[in-house]
Structure 1
Amino acid sequence: MTAVLPHPHPVPPAAHASIDAREVSAWFGERKVLDRVSLLMPGGSVTALIGPSGCGKSTFLRTLNRMHELIPGASLAGEVLLSGADIYDPARKLTDARKQIGMVFQKPNPFPAMSIYDNVVAGLKLTGLKATRTERDDLVEQCLAKAGLWVEVRDRLRQPGGALSGGQQQRLCIARSLAVRPKVLLMDEPCSALDPTSTRRIEQTIAELAHEVTIVIVTHNMQQAARVSQQCAFFLAEQGTPGVIVEAGPTTQIFGAPVDQRTADYVHGRFG
């Protein structure tokens, strides 16, 4: 039976969903890239994953919504719990995990020939949610507003998404992710291809969204991690060993009083 879209007018947010990775290890073929990584990402907050290139941050992020398993030869061990339920439970549908845990990629990827309007509602068809025209109209406005884009595009909703600037395209992708009402939003370096003005707008959007959706962001920008997150996890892979978390905790502690000298060296720019 096809699900019906809930009424799109604002409703009080449900209890924020936490995401809890327990002893997660990941492989590409024979090569182990993550070793027994455990991290609790609290609901209704922003967790930043930081560390040098090649330490497993993006791989870890992809394990959180079952995208890692799409890569040929990839495998995984451990558990990922969304509000206490394992997303890798064989009885759980893959589409449920993807609907509840959205992803925004490094490079904006709107459907270029599809209109701005149709880009936002594209996820409804993919997840089997039905909506009347009025509900879709309301949803498009609501999601574009949450992504900080409504004022800029409300008079050209029927123009192609690919005609927007890079920063606008990234915010359109955020709006598209929000349309299916995810509990968690994963972001893989969402600002790395953007100019400073667009980056600032995306960061404002992250701050506004964190009140209603749990956000996990991979970033190489230490200033950005310090600005947008409440919690940080520092990943490191040393001398060919798999990636591990060296230290995790409140962002103020990771940047102000880290326990491990390697964390202090990284956040202060002495390596990486």
Structure 2
Amino acid sequence: MPTDEDFADDFRGSELEAVGVSAWFGKRKVLQRVSLTMPPGSVTALIGPSGCGKSTFLRILNRMHELVASASLAGEVLLDGVDVYEPGGRITETRRRIGMVFQKPNPFPAMSIADNVTAGLKLTGAKASRDEKHHLIEQCLTKAGLWKEVRDRLKQPGGALSGGQQQRLCIARSLAVRPDVLLMDEPCSALDPTSTRRIEETIAELRDEVTIVIVTHNMQQAARVSQQCAFFLAEDGTPGQIVEAGPTRDIFDDPVDPRTADYVNGRFG
């Protein structure tokens, strides 16, 4: 039986590093030797036009790429120096430590708000008392910026929430299993400006506790929420690759490659 310390407020971030990652769907190569360090205590934004491999790269980071039957890859994904694709590594443990929030909110619609938050505990085999679960629910909904809005209706279905609230519920659900890294695939693309602002506030509050990697097409959002940025590009049918990566301020204000300058200033993409 876990003690209350198991549900303490100290999330930890981990360093995530891709080393020479290439990817294929069947015979079509979609990523070419992508290397990127995603440090703890920061948000790393992946930017670039549609079709350049950003979401594929994100899915590779927590082993979701292999869910596609024709998918394959080469290279390494190191979580605190250990390759998540190492033979014998458990996929469930990788996905617990590296959580994912998708573009479209996907709470379990018939499940209560409270049960949505704790749903991951069953998948990971974690056990908790009623008091521990209540503490965890309050803690994760607070971290996701949702507690004050839903604390009086925790037994209502998660599907009854607004789109922005559903997305924050999905963030709370991801946090409940104590991830080291949280991946976000365009988490605000379907949301209104008010909900987008709240999600961005949540990201800012979480970055000291969990390493965050976000795919976004919104250049203003990338500039607002991230400290590191990587610009992906696929040109003339070639696989996607990183043109330039570094501190967000440098990518936006003083890029090295003219293609980066053109993209962040809206001249293509």
TM-score scaled to structure 1, two decimals? Answer: 0.97
In the alignment, structure 1 residue 103 sits paired with structure 2 residue 100: yes
Give the superposition deviation at 1:4: 4.1
* Identity of matched residues, %: 77
Aligned mates of 2:112, 2:70 — CA distance in 1: 36
Q: Could you tell me whether the CA contact under 8 Å between 1:7 and 1:135 is conserved in 2?
A: no
Instruction: Spell out the pairing of 1:3-42 with structure 2 (5 A cutoff).
Output: 4=2, 7=5, 10-14=8-12, 16-42=13-39
8 Å CA contact 1:69, 1:75 repeated in 2: yes
Q: Secondary structure at the match of 2:37?
A: strand
Shift of 1:12: 4.0
Maintained 8 Å contact 1:24/1:77: yes
Where does 1:102-141 land on structure 2 (aligned, <5 Å)? 102-141=99-138
Q: CA RMSD in A?
A: 1.1
Counterpart in the other structure of 1:241: 238
Distance, in Å, in 1 between the alignment partners of 2:11 and 2:126 is 19
Conserved? CA contact 1:8–1:135, under 8 Å? no
Q: Within the alignment, does 1:49 sit opposite 2:46 as a pair?
A: yes
TM-superposed deviation, 1:8: 5.3
Distance 1:111-1:11 versus aligned 2 partners, 3 A rule: closer
Taking the TM superposition and a 5 Å limit, the aligned residue runs for 1:37-186 are 37-186=34-183
- Measured against aligned partners, the alpha-carbon deviations of 1:53-94 in whole angstroms (never above 9, x if no partner) come to 000000000000000000110001000000001000112111
How far residue 5 of structure 1 moved from its aligned partner, in angstroms, is: 7.0
**1:219 Cα deviation after fit:** 0.1
State yes or no: 1:268 paired with 2:254: no
SS at match of 2:250: helix
Greater mean deviation of Cα atoms: 87-96 or 46-55:
87-96
Residue ranges of structure 1 left out of the alignment (5+ in a row): none
Partners of 1:8 and 1:138 within 8 A in 2 = no
Q: One-letter code of the match for 1:7?
A: E
Aligned length: 269
3-state SS of 1:35 partner: strand
Separation in 2, partners of 1:5, 1:264: 51
Secondary structure of 1:152's counterpart equals helix
Counterpart Cα distance in 2 of 1:191 and 1:6: 33
